Amino acid sequence: MPAVLPPLPTPPDSQPELLQVGLPEDEPCLRADAARNRARLLEAAGRLVAEHGAAGVTMEAVAAAAAVGKGTVFRRFGDRTGLLTALLDHSERKFQAAFLSGPAPLGPGAPPSDRLRAFGRAMLRRSVEEMDLMLASEPSPDRRFTPAPRQVHHSHVALLLRQAVPEEDCELLAQTLMGYLDPAAVHHLTRRRGMPIERLERGWDDLVARLTCTDSPR
């Protein structure tokens, strides 16, 4: 699967570019039969996730469900991680569009502290809704912080921090905040510790308020 290049460092007064999880926007360049195969494979993989969870998605199972050869699945997605990543692609594009250009407070037009709160809450909710798929498509530890979407999220948080607290080390603070939103951490707290998502949201609001010296909503 072609690698997605990481975004360039984001200037303080600009937004990061919209990036996708997996393959570049190459659909118009695909042959018609290749595009149809890709759509069939993703549809089959989506059915398997809905019926059996992400653990039920194997290259062999997807090939059988889509009635194609296993080699077709490997050629199109590279490996299981690439396939699961492609499933997340549509959701990621919608999420990025929402925080880069959607309505406030998640999108532009609200104070940076309000946008930080909205971003974290949206990330937490998305992690809970797509938990199995997110965990199954996690990259290996040596590549955990390099996927393009994760860098876009980090750049966005750093940008809002630079607007809210320009005197602080916003790159490091952004990394710390992203740790709070990590899907594995959300999984541990919600599924293993039994914490309701509302508690995590209140904790996020309080963390943002402490960092930006603003009042936390109650």
Cβ neighbors of 93 (< 8 A, separation 6 or more) are 18, 20, 21
Q: Smallest Cα–Cα separation from 116: which of 92, 130, 99?
A: 99
* Three-state secondary structure call for residue 114: helix
Q: What is the pLDDT of residues 58-89, one digit of tens each?
A: 999 999 999 888 998 998 899 888 888 888 88
Q: Which two structure tokens, joined as six digits, stand for 196?
A: 């309701």
Burial of 83 (0-12, 13-18, 19+ CB in 10 A): buried
Question: Cis ω on the peptide bond leading into residue 105 (within 30° of 0)?
Answer: yes
How far from 198 is each of 90, 195, 204, 218, CA to CA, in Å?
Answer: 26, 8, 10, 12
CA distance 4 to 23: 7
CA distance 130 to 16: 24
Q: What is the pLDDT of residues 176-197, one digit of tens each?
A: 999 999 999 999 999 999 999 9
Q: In the predicted model, is pLDDT for residue 31 greater than 80?
A: no
The percentage of residues in the chain with a pLDDT greater than 70, rounded to a whole number, is 85
* Three-state secondary structure call for residue 137: coil
Q: How many residues does the chain have?
A: 218
pTM of the model: 0.72
* Three-state secondary structure call for residue 109: coil
